[in-house]
Amino acid sequence: MPLENALQNLINQGILRGAMIYDSSGNVIWVSPPDWSPPLEPVFKAWDDESITGFNIGDIRFSVIERTPERFVAANIKGQGVIIILKYKEDKWIYVMSAPGVSAHDLYNLLLSALHES
């Protein structure tokens, strides 16, 4: 199953609010829902700056859980959402934001499964 289909299934099941695949130059390859515009600046700033342990998106506070060159994980401790960015292939990245109530651990495992199936 193509990765886009697997991500769309997670959106249709209410697990993800949105998903995006982009290349290393920042060009969006695929996004769903089509009008989803994920928060980029606070996420990438937190990923780049190791002194940042958390950031806000609207009125939701996210804490950085993991920060490596290949992935970034941040979650709201009250269960209002998770953001995960994973390297996909040589020059592509997956950016997802979960729906409320989805744990970072469960979402990460679902993404790994989707990557494995694609």
Sheet containing 28-32, strands listed edge to edge, beginning at the edge strand earlier in sequence = 28-32, 16-23, 92-98, 82-88, 71-75, 60-68, 54-57
Asked if pLDDT for residue 1 goes beyond 80, the answer is no
pLDDT, tens only, 3-38: 999 999 999 999 999 999 999 999 999 999 999 998
Q: Which pLDDT belongs to residue 83?
A: 98
Supply the range of the domain harboring residue 8: 3-117
Q: How many domains does the chain have?
A: 1
Q: Which pLDDT belongs to residue 116?
A: 87
84, β-bridge pairs: 73, 96
CATH for 17: 3.30.450.30
The neighbour count for residue 116, using CB atoms within 10 Å, is 8
- Of the candidates 102, 67, 78, 50, the residue with the CA atom closest to the CA atom of residue 111: 102
- What is this structure's pTM? 0.94
DSSP E strand boundaries for the chain: 16-23, 28-32, 54-57, 60-68, 71-75, 82-88, 92-98
Looking at every residue in the chain, the average pLDDT score rounds to 95
pLDDT, tens only, 57-93: 999 999 999 999 999 999 999 999 999 999 988 899 9
The enclosing H or E element of 43 equals helix 41-48
Q: pLDDT-derived band of residue 46, with 50, 70 and 90 as boundaries?
A: very high
Q: How far apart are CA 10 and CA 104, in angstroms?
A: 14
